[in-house]
């Protein structure tokens, strides 16, 4: 089996590759598991050294749209594509053309590349919870179910929703076996901050654990729907595994989430790492970020994902402890 992961050098892309390589074989689209022969990791930069050291991994570096336009990707024989590459929310608001190129033009080109293969590969598209948004003058969002009509309020969410519809139509035409999933905000992400408006939801845990101050640009009452990296990867993998009958409708599914608030996240940090860590949180409002984050749903229904055997995290304290266990070298405060 041959697999392509776009954004393969990024945090989730690399984590997905490791999970697949560890499994060694994969039961694609309800069929019996087959050995993984090659995973192509496409990104602007190189993937982590541990992945490059695996003989089953091939790194393709460069601008993804240009690679697709030159038909360097996807390669003949590609059985599955995990499309994770994207410009993130704040980037798309700051640079409209960047978002349209990275999130719309590139997705369309990748879909056309898969169509040209003529083999109907599985295509897992990482959409976003940002397809849901509070419309101006309307009441706050309630529970967002799988079939709730998306009303995105930012360029990123709009581009992701268009991507969902393209995946559905290419699936309807038989060009691909499309599976669109909507991950919620992933926390806690290790490493350097990214340009996402939701990035503080990792930074407010990651930085204090490293002994560094972190800005919290929203109020403690702001509700958020979160998932750990582990639960997120489980959902992405499961989408490719299940049969067409198990998947059901061509529309996107919400991945499992934990409902919490920013204040409860801060409390979990203090419980795990004490006042020394929580005192490093700087509660400094940023009206632009708060407006965008408050427009996203804080409570998400995920019945279709539950029907596929997926589950959410038990609590945010468990998520913090998972991050510490996996990134002990980045933690410089005492942990209880």
By DSSP bridging, strand 38-43 and strand 2-6 are parallel
**170 in catalytic set:** no
- The torsion angles phi and psi of 313, rounded to 5 degrees, stand at -75, 150
Catalytic residue among 156, 161, 170, 323: 156
Please give the full DSSP string across 244-276, using - where no structure is assigned. Answer: HHHH-SSS-EEPP-EEEEHHHHHHHHHHHHHHH
Between the alpha carbon of residue 290 and those of residues 109, 226, 281, 285, the distances in Å are 34, 17, 16, 7
Secondary structure of residue 300 in the 3-state scheme: strand
Distance CA 299, CA 123 (A): 27
DSSP H or E run through 315: none
* Contact assessment for residue 46 and residue 6, using Cβ atoms and an 8 Å cutoff: no
Query: Catalytic positions, please?
Result: 156
């Amino acid at each position: 089996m041959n697999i392509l992961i776009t954004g393969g050098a990024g945090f989730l892309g690399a984590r997905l590759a490791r999970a697949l390589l560890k499994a060694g074989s994969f039961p694609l689209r309800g069929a019996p598991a087959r050995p993984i022969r090659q995973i192509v990791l496409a990104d602007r930069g190189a993937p982590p050294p541990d992945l490059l050291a695996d003989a089953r991994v091939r790194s393709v570096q460069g601008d993804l749209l240009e690679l697709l336009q030159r038909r360097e990707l996807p390669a003949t024989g590609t059985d599955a594509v995990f499309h994770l590459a994207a410009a993130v929310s704040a980037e798309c608001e700051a640079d409209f053309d960047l978002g349209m190129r990275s999130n719309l033009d590139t997705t369309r080109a990748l879909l056309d590349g898969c169509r040209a293969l003529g083999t109907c590969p599985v295509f897992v598209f990482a959409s976003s919870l940002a397809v849901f948004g509070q419309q101006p003058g309307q009441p706050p969002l309630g529970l967002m179910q799988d079939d709730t009509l998306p009303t995105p309020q930012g360029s990123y969410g709009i581009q992701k929703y268009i991507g969902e519809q393209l995946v559905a139509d290419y699936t309807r035409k038989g060009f691909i076996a499309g599976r669109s999933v909507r991950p919620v905000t992933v926390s806690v992400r290790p490493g350097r901050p990214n340009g996402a408006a939701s990035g503080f939801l990792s930074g407010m845990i990651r930085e204090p654990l490293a002994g560094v101050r972190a800005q919290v640009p929203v109020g403690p009452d702001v509700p958020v729907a979160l998932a750990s990296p582990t639960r997120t990867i489980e959902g992405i993998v499961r989408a490719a595994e299940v049969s067409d009958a198990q998947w059901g409708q061509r529309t996107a599914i919400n991945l499992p989430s934990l409902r919490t608030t920013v204040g409860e996240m801060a409390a979990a940090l203090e419980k795990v790492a004490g006042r020394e860590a929580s005192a490093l949180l700087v509660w400094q409002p940023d009206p632009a970020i708060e407006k965008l984050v408050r427009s996203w749903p804080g409570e998400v229904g995920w019945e279709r994902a539950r029907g596929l055997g997926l589950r959410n995290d038990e609590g945010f304290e468990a998520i913090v402890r998972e991050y510490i266990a996996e990134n002990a070298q980045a933690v410089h405060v005492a942990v209880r």
